[in-house]
Every structure is written in C-alpha cells, then in structure tokens.
Amino acid sequence: MYHYRLVFNNDITWITFHNAYDFGYLVKILTGCFLPHFLPDFLYLVRYFFGQNVYDMKYMMGFFPGLYGGLESLAGTLQIVREVGLSHQAGSDSLLTWRTFQKMRLTCFDSDEKELRKYGGALYGLKI
C-alpha cells in the first residue's frame, strides 16, 4: 500500500459502505500491531493513513430521509442497477458502491464538494 501511494495520499478518495471492520483490518496490517483499545485512537489511525477523504455511504444516508437499508436497497432507491456479477462479489460490489456514491453525491449534495466534505472521515457504527 505504501509503494503504490494508497496511503498518505490526499488525492485518493475512499468510498465504502459499512466498512469499519475492513479499515480495522487495514490499520492492523499497516501498523503491524494490535488495534487500539480506544475508539478515538483507532479513528486517528484511519485519518492518519487514509486522510479525511473517507466516505461511508451507510453513515451518510442516515442524514437523508428515504435512504435506508443495505447497498442493494440504497442503489435501488437511487435507481442504480448492478451492471456485472452478483451481490457480495468484490468487483461487482465495488462498482455498485462507486456508481451509487456518484449518484448520491449528485442528488443529495448537488455536487457541492464543501457540503460533501462534512461527511468525510466518519465510519458507520463508530461514534465518539
């Protein structure tokens, strides 16, 4: 991840859907240590490695009436169709997540990057 500049790179935006456990796994690999015992310490490490451009759609949709459920439900509400593969396949889910995020960004934020940034860095289910 270091070699390919996937961490410590503010030009990369990370789009997720309910992926706190995945970030836990990545933080553990990147540090080579056990995960921190305290949530603020863990969130600090997520921001340290991945920056503020981490958007968890499961977290974000809680602020918009009518958006609820899992990825498939959210995509359906936003009229996004899975183009390839099946549910719970990495490539297929990644493409659906990206396309759904783009539609959410367009419809919920009217492409207003400043407004969108308010939701950066938060992961669903992890609150201080």
pLDDT of the residue at 35? 97
pLDDT of the residue at 84? 83
Q: Between the CA of residue 52 and those of 10, 14, 19, 79, 99, what are the distances in Å?
A: 8, 9, 15, 28, 21
Domain boundaries, the chain: 17-117
Architecture of domain 17-117: 2-Layer Sandwich (3.30)
pTM of the complete model:
0.88
Question: How many C-beta atoms surround the C-beta of residue 94 within 10 A?
Answer: 14
Question: How many C-beta atoms surround the C-beta of residue 32 within 10 A?
Answer: 6
Give the tokens for residue 64.
């918009």
Q: Residues 54, 123: contact at Cβ < 8 Å?
A: yes
**pLDDT values of the chain reduced to their tens digit, one per residue, 128 residues:** 776 778 888 889 999 999 999 999 999 999 999 999 999 999 999 999 999 999 999 999 999 999 999 999 999 999 999 988 777 777 889 999 999 999 999 999 887 889 999 999 999 999 76
pLDDT of the residue at 119? 94
